[in-house]
Homo-oligomer: A and B are copies of this chain.
Amino acid sequence: MFAATRAPSGSNRQPFRFLVLADGPAATAAKQLIGDAARRLWSAKRQRDGYTQGSAARPDSPKSRLADTMQQYVDALASVPVLILPCLNRYREPEYTEGANIYPACQNLLLAARAYGYGGVLTMFHKEVEPQLRTMLAIPDSTAMSATITLGRPAGQHGQVRRRPLSELVYQDAWGKPAPWAVDPPGTAFTAAGPPRPVAGADAGPAAPGPPSSADGSP
């Protein structure tokens, strides 16, 4: 939490607040609520996006493995050791840059967790049950609920982070113009971006690990 709160914010107002839910009665109830919501959302998405159709149903396909990981994640969500609700005390109307005051702190938290050997996952699963959470935890209406972060010991290994090549992400002088010096270090592993595409009886090809995004982007 110390690392999180060292983050910058506009005019150093420090409008970020972190509500930590561990094992008290309120924490248990709130984690259950978010966990139930996560299972419902994932169940619908699993059906809608064809995670069990065609060749994606093969247990060793990337899409199938991602689906298994997601299922384990949402099934375990209510029993994670620590769930943190990063919130933002708004001082102006909601708008698309307000996250500059809260997500740098979230990133510091995820990085610190990883440095200690923990795994962190940031999702928006709380949105589904936000009114109930506000009542349950006495969160003011003027405060934005900006994310849900779960922390625990990772079940698997943190793999190397995989991303698009730098040449696709870094431009110089004009939009879309590659920066010649932006070259990935030797040994960098790459990934396609985004969740696997819906399949229609056939595999969608080499799929990218998708939701949830974690401190290192691996599922």
Chain A interface (Cβ within 8 Å of chain B)?
Answer: 1-2, 5-22, 24, 26-27, 94-100, 102-104, 106-108, 110-111, 122, 124, 127, 137-140, 143-144, 146-147, 161, 163-164, 166, 169-176, 179, 182, 184-185, 191, 193-195, 208-211, 213-217, 219
Contact = CB atoms under 8 A, between A and B. Distances in A.
Nearest to A210: B11
Contacts of A171: 17-20
Contacts of A13: 193-195
Contacts of A214: 8
A34 B2 CA distance: 34
Contact of A96 (B15, B22, B99, B110): B99
A144 to B, nearest CB: 6
A16 B172 CA distance: 14
B21 A173 contact: yes
Contact of A20 (B14, B24, B179): B179
B161 A6 contact: yes
Given A12-B195, A20-B171, 11 more contacts: A2-B184, A5-B163, A5-B166, A8-B107, A12-B209, A19-B171, A19-B174, A94-B96, A97-B146, A102-B103, A104-B107
